[in-house]
Amino acid sequence: MTQTRQLFGTDGIRGVAGEFPLTRDGVYWIGRALGHDLVRVKSKPQVVIGQDTRISSQWIADRFLQGLASVGVEARSAGVITTPGVAFLARSQGCDAGIVISASHNPWTDNGIKIFSGDGYKLPDARELAIEKEIFALLDSDAVPAPDPTAEASSVPGEESLRQAYVRWLAGGVSPDLTRLRVAVDCANGAGAVEAPELFRALKINTTFLHCAPDGQNINENCGALHPETVARFVADSLATEKQARFDVGVTFDGDADRALFCDAQGRVVNGDAVLLLAARDMQSRGALAHATVVATTMSNLGLELALKRSGIQMLRANVGDKYVLEEMQRVGATLGGEQSGHILFRDGEATTGDGLLTALRVLEIMVRTGKPLADLVSDLKVFPQTIRNVRVRNKTPFAQIPAVQAAIAAAERELDGNGRVVVRYSGTEALARVMIEAESKAQIDRLASTIVESIRSALGT
């Protein structure tokens, strides 16, 4: 029987900073457990670590480094850097692992620990489970770390040369001249606030930056990829204000900049499904779309599947989480995959994980190469009405074990009769159940979603 991980979710270990497992002792043991995992393979392993802009990120990074050092693991710090930046550095700098201290799109009070292997890929579930067992073994053996002579190293500001290496790699992959574009970029007061300005300046792109002043508590606050309407409104307002420049496109990142969403010149939001469509067609035209296949998730809109089909491209669906999208891409040999939320994985180059900055550059390149505005590139994408409802739960009992929830789901599927989709799942990073329903009638999906939500709330609600 497959064992269930208790600490690792779909995107590393995540929780409230200062609460288990992200207490000072817990973080130390997590670092030490990873260190043990690494030294079993190599006598003197080296890792690279980076963090986002949360107020808790530095002390978590510093304490994690002390746990690593206690078993002889050497570390280099890139300071504040995007999650994909650490993945790039892990593989390009010959490291044995890359660690990111970030809770991505979560509130500033949360934080997390993501781990990449030396090849830049997220750890497989089996290896995370092995590290988790080590963590619990350490906790059971000694609830408080013994006094450690290893000094707690400072992770910031980190090595400027590491951040520059990442920016150079991104800029070096751009072929068309992007200087004619006028771009608004929302950095979410997160990690992208460091690298995005350097990257866009290096490429001489005419850019206006929003939410680029992190204070430790304003990450994702009414901005970034969680709120794409913010940059969309800014772009739309500029159309009506003579004193402001008009923009060709708006870009918005999440807290650790591993995903990106967009808006067109009129201020209409363009999500990850639309990005997959325009990227797939572009890659297909250049012979770079392997097997004429795109890997999306159970949450991607039916309209994307139909639009891709019209272009002779098949769409496969993976479980939610870019980690699982990547696994399916590797299984079938696909070179493009991603999520509606803006995690896009390009496997026609060196990228090993979703990268918001890379995604932004790809979209800008396609606009320049085709000479078409963003709106035209996705104009034939008919989006079926879709609602996603979140229900806070006290535990994650499998839905198959809750008859009332199963009955509500089955009733919705019978009513849709193949003319829509029902997806009910638990969040991999939060204590939430997510109910997604998609059909041609907005009133119908709202009614069906409410019924399922109430059944979950009655059984599991907090």
Whether residue 462 has pLDDT greater than 90: no
Q: Are 262 and 250 in contact (CB under 8 A)?
A: yes
Whether residue 225 has pLDDT greater than 60: yes
Topology (CATH) of 386-460: TATA-Binding Protein (3.30.310)
Q: What amino acid positions are annotated as catalytic residues?
A: 104
pLDDT digits (tens, 9 = 90+) for 279-300: 999 999 999 999 999 999 988 9
pLDDT digits (tens, 9 = 90+) for 86-143: 999 999 999 999 999 999 999 999 999 999 999 999 998 889 999 999 999 888 876 5
**CA separation for the pair 85, 65 (Å, rounded):** 18
Whether residue 307 has pLDDT greater than 90: yes
If pLDDT is split at 50, 70 and 90, which confidence band does 147 have? low
Q: Are 429 and 106 in contact (CB under 8 A)?
A: yes
Percent over 90 (pLDDT), the chain: 84
User: What integer pLDDT is reported at residue 3 of this predicted model?
Assistant: 60
User: The tokens of 60 are what?
Assistant: 């978590």
Cβ burial 196-233 (10 Å sphere, 16+ → b, else e): bbbbbeebebebbbbbbebeeebbbbebbbbbbebbbe
pLDDT digits (tens, 9 = 90+) for 30-71: 999 999 999 998 989 999 999 999 999 999 999 999 999 999
User: What integer pLDDT is reported at residue 144 of this predicted model?
Assistant: 63
Instruction: Identify the burial level of 155 via C-beta atoms within 10 angstroms of its C-beta, where 0-12 means exposed, 13-18 middle and 19 or more buried.
Output: buried
Whether residue 372 has pLDDT greater than 90: yes
CATH of domain 8-162: 3.40.120.10
**CA separation for the pair 381, 445 (Å, rounded):** 20
Percent over 70 (pLDDT), the chain: 96
If pLDDT is split at 50, 70 and 90, which confidence band does 244 have? low
User: What integer pLDDT is reported at residue 339 of this predicted model?
Assistant: 96
Domains 8-162 and 176-377 share a fold: yes
Q: Are 422 and 436 in contact (CB under 8 A)?
A: yes
Q: Is the peptide bond before 124 cis (omega within 30 degrees of 0)?
A: no
* Summary mean pLDDT of the chain: 93
Q: Locate tokens 């608004």: which residue? A: 184
**CA separation for the pair 251, 243 (Å, rounded):** 21
Average pLDDT over residues 133-161: 79
CATH of domain 176-377: 3.40.120.10
Backbone dihedral angles phi then psi of residue 85, each to the nearest 5 degrees: -65, -40
Q: Locate the domains of the chain by residue range.
A: 8-162, 176-377, 386-460
E-only strand ranges, 45-200: 46-51, 74-80, 97-101, 110-117, 182-186
Question: Could you tell me which of 344, 340, 431, 350 has the C-alpha nearest to residue 381?
Answer: 340
If pLDDT is split at 50, 70 and 90, which confidence band does 226 have? very high
